[in-house]
């Protein structure tokens, strides 16, 4: 049974976000590689075990520091405007109700984890998203907001000094900006992994908007790599055979 | 592949797969191997820089001062020495004569100021951050005279909305917007941490202001020009942001 799952605004902002985040992270890594440490000159930094270790070049974007900075400072507007369009839409459209954790969220998350780790047989019942998805999709804008604020703090540490000081000064704001990036990357990698191993049908839903509820992970009882195909019952619906008279001859 | 997988492919539909595949391939190409990105994007990036310039100038406040954390250590000798010449540029008096800073352009009273002349101007010391484009910072105490006092002294014309700072370091220069140049913490610095500036850090005098990234702060100064138009700079001309305000 097909129905519309995602509004076109959600689909559009999703794919714009894919491009914007990819370029922001890649160029951000290139910028980081110009000085892959957090200590001030003449100081040691307490809280980063890989001081001085650059990120592999193939994960970076922009070619050189100036190129990466130009991309970063151009794409940041796309990211912010796109994010605002998305958040405004989910608020006005009421879709935020599907994304904001509510009472019993922890309990539901534990049940999902139990299911994924084979300590529960049947898929917990859910609305549009399961509890773990809700956590991920709710955290992404939160991490995004943190990225924008820490980004502003290290872009203008003098002119926006109160903001920079809120994060503990330039050195720490740069550190939080980096950690928030890593958090966003981890969330995105898990998201893509789960899409391909649990609910590949949702890719179509994010492109055309159409989704078949009889193929939902809940209907398929799907764990990563398990029950990817349509449920048996829907492939070969069981219909009782009428008594066959012709074979009697 | 067993039959179940084929059904899965069919269920997703060929068109979707093409779209997803195309998306993945183009994203991968875009991000591949430290690439500089598509050439056609260059225009768009320039456009973004021009728009950012408007935002950055609007954010700039003449009264906002940089304050270095009291708990943080000074960089001392850990402050990197940087120049573009093959060897450290040192002003050789026996060859070039006595060093003096030329101040000219759209000014009523062009001047040549020796180090002693500069030291006679009102003296300011600030313990401030050096924000490098690479991401590091360093705290130092810079002493010198204000560019704003220099502008008054030579009677810079109102049309001179830009200032170019030139050096004897193989032609290195960077031009600034006037607002940033006459910020109270923008100094023609001749002393660092209480000692006269050494060649390693830009002697005899260099520009230092915390309101711009390090590369805007020309060392080994020779000439300050008040101009009606921006004049780029060594790194700005190569693709680094011209405004580079922090």
- Tens digits of per-residue pLDDT, A24-46? 999 999 999 999 999 999 999 99
A49 within some domain: yes
Structure confidence at residue B163 (pLDDT): 98
CA distance A29 to A26: 5
Binary contact (B12, A201; C-beta < 8 A)? yes
Q: List chain A residues with CB under 8 Å of B61.
A: 159
User: How far is A170 from A40, CA to CA, in rounded Å?
Assistant: 10
Count of beta carbons in the 10 Å neighbourhood of residue A138: 16
Q: Over the stretch A166-188, which tens digit does the pLDDT of each residue have?
A: 999 999 999 999 999 999 999 99
- Residues in chain A with CB shorter than 8 Å from the CB of B241 are 66, 69-70, 73
- The answer to whether B241 contacts A70, with C-beta atoms less than 8 Å apart, is yes
Nearest CB among A23, A40, A69 relative to B72 is that of: A40
Minimal C-alpha gap between B73 and chain A (Å): 7
**How high is the pLDDT of residue A1?**
74
Q: What is the pLDDT of residue B17?
A: 47
Which pLDDT does position A241 carry in this prediction?
60
> Among candidates A45, A35, A40, A154, which has minimal Cα distance to B73?
A40
CA dihedral A83, A87, A88, A94 (to 10 degrees): 160
pLDDT band with cut points at 50, 70 and 90 for residue A249? very low
Q: Is residue A234 part of a domain?
A: no
With respect to residue A211, please indicate whether it lies within any of the assigned structural domains.
no
Smallest CA–CA distance, residue A57 to chain B, in Å, is 6
Q: Report whether pLDDT(B15) > 90.
A: no
Residue-wise pLDDT tens digits, B89-108? 999 999 999 999 999 999 99
For the domain spanning B41-238, the CATH number is: 3.90.420.10
- The alpha-carbon gap from B62 to the nearest alpha carbon of chain A, in Å, equals 9
Quick one: pLDDT band at residue A54, thresholds 50, 70, 90? very high
Burial pattern A29-63, b for ≥16 Cβ within 10 A else e, equals bbbbbbbbbbbbbbbeeeeeeeeeeeeeeeebbbb
Least confident of A231-245, B156-170, B208-222: A231-245
Number of domains in chain A: 1
A93 vs B32 pLDDT, higher one: A93
Which pLDDT band, with edges at 50, 70 and 90, does B36 fall under? low
**Residue numbers in B near A37 (CB within 8 A):** 136
Closest CA to A86 of A99, A101, A67: A99
Out of B12, B64, B138, name the one closest to residue A41 (CB).
Answer: B138
Residues of chain A neighbouring B40 (CB-CB closer than 8 A): none
CB-based burial of residue B217 (10 Å sphere; 0-12 exposed, 13-18 middle, 19+ buried)?
buried
B232: closest CA among B147, B172, B148?
A: B172
| Segment among A225-229, B26-30, B153-157 with least mean pLDDT | B26-30
A204-208: average pLDDT: 96
Q: What is the pLDDT of residue A248?
A: 44
Query: 3-state SS of A125-137?
Result: CCCCCCHHHHHHH
- Tens-place pLDDT, residues A112-167: 999 999 999 999 999 999 999 999 999 999 999 999 999 999 999 999 999 999 99
pLDDT tier for residue B37 given thresholds of 50, 70 and 90: low
Q: Tens of pLDDT along B176-232? A: 999 999 999 999 999 999 999 999 999 999 999 999 999 999 999 999 999 999 999
Per-residue pLDDT, averaged over B16-33, amounts to 52
A16/chain B closest Cα distance in angstroms: 11
Pairwise CB contact (< 8 Å): B240 & A71: no
Q: What is the pLDDT of residue A231?
A: 80
CA dist., res. B36 & res. B57, Å (int): 28
Mutate to test the interface with B, among A26, A29, A41 (most CBs of B within 10 A): A41
**Has residue A144 been placed in a domain?**
yes
Q: Is residue A240 part of a domain?
A: no
Of B8, B66, B133, the CB nearest to A158: B66
Confidence band, pLDDT 50/70/90 cuts, at residue A193: very high
Mean pLDDT, all residues of chain B: 90
Task: Give the gap in angstroms from C-alpha A236 to the nearest C-alpha of chain B.
Answer: 13
List C-alpha distances in Å: B179 to A28, A216, B13, B123, B124: 29, 60, 59, 20, 19
Domain with A126, as residue range(s), is 2-185
Chain B residue whose CA is closest to A157: B246
Which residue of chain B comes nearest to A39, CA vs CA? B136
Count of pairs with CB atoms under 8 A, one residue in A, one in B: 163
Q: Tell me: pLDDT of B10 over 70.
A: no
Instruction: Give yes or no for residue B1 having a pLDDT over 50.
Output: no
Contact in structure between B225 and B150 (CB atoms under 8 Å)? no
Pick A70's closest partner by Cβ from B49, B134, B210.
B49
Q: Tokens in use for A107? A: 């309990």
Residue A223, in any domain of the structure: no
Domain assignment of residue A180, yes or no: yes
Reduce the DSSP state of residue B86 to 3 states and report it: coil
From CA B187, how far away is CA B208, in angstroms rounded?
Answer: 5
**Would you state the pLDDT for residue B8?**
47
Q: Residue A239: its pLDDT value, please?
A: 55
Of B32, B49, B72, the CB nearest to A43: B72
User: From the CA of B188, how many Å to the nearest CA of chain A?
Assistant: 20
Lowest average pLDDT, out of A106-120, B4-18, B23-37, goes to B4-18
Cβ separation A37–B136 shorter than 8 A:
yes
Residue A152 sits in a domain whose CATH number is 1.20.950.20
A58 closest CB neighbour out of B34, B41, B65: B34
Average pLDDT over residues A213-236: 84
Q: Where does the pLDDT of residue A242 fall: very low under 50, low under 70, confident under 90, or very high at 90 and above?
A: low
């Amino acid at each position: 049974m097909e129905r519309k799952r995602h509004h076109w605004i959600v689909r559009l902002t999703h794919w714009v976000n894919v491009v914007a985040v990819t370029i922001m992270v890649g160029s951000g890594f290139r910028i980081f590689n110009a000085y892959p440490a957090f200590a001030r000159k003449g100081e040691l930094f307490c809280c980063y075990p890989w001081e001085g270790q650059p990120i592999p070049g193939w994960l970076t974007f922009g070619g050189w520091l100036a190129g990466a900075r130009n991309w970063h400072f151009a794409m940041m507007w796309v990211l912010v405007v796109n994010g605002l369009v998305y958040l405004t839409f989910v608020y006005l459209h009421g879709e935020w109700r599907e994304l904001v954790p509510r009472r019993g969220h922890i309990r539901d998350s534990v049940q999902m984890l139990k299911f994924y780790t084979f300590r529960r047989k049947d898929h917990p019942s859910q609305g549009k998203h399961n509890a773990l998805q809700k956590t991920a999709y709710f955290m992404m804008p939160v991490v995004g907001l943190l990225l924008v604020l820490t980004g502003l703090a290290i872009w203008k540490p003098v002119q926006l000094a109160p903001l920079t000081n809120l994060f503990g000064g330039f050195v720490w704001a740069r550190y939080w900006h980096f950690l928030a990036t890593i958090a966003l990357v981890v969330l995105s990698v898990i998201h893509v992994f789960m899409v391909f191993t649990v609910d590949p049908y949702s890719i179509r839903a994010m492109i055309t908007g159409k989704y078949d509820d009889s193929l939902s992970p809940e209907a398929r009882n799907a764990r990563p790599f398990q029950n990817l195909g349509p449920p048996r019952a829907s492939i070969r619906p069981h219909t009782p055979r009428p008594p066959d008279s012709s074979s009697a001859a | 592949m067993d039959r179940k997988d084929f059904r899965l492919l069919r269920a997703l539909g060929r068109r979707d797969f093409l779209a997803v595949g195309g998306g993945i391939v183009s994203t991968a190409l875009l991000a591949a191997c430290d690439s500089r990105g598509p050439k056609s994007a260059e225009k768009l990036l320039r456009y973004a820089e021009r728009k950012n310039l408007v935002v950055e100038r609007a954010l700039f406040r003449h009264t906002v001062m940089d304050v270095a954390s009291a708990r943080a250590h000074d960089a001392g000798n850990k402050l990197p020495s940087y120049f573009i010449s093959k060897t450290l540029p040192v002003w050789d008096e026996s060859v070039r004569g006595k060093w003096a800073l030329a101040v000219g352009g759209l000014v009523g009273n062009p001047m040549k100021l020796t180090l002693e002349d500069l030291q006679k101007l009102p003296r300011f010391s600030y313990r401030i951050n050096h924000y490098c484009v690479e991401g590091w910072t360093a705290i130092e105490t810079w002493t010198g005279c204000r560019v704003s006092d220099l502008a008054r002294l030579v009677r810079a014309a109102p049309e001179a909305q830009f200032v170019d700072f030139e050096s004897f370091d193989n032609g290195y220069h960077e031009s600034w917007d006037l607002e940033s140049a006459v910020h109270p913490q923008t100094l023609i610095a001749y002393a660092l941490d209480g000692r006269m500036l050494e060649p390693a850090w830009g002697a005899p005098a260099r520009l230092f202001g915390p309101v711009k990234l390090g590369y805007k702060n020309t060392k080994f100064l020779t000439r300050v020009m008040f101009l009606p138009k921006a004049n780029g700079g060594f790194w700005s001309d190569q693709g680094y942001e011209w405004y580079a305000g922090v």
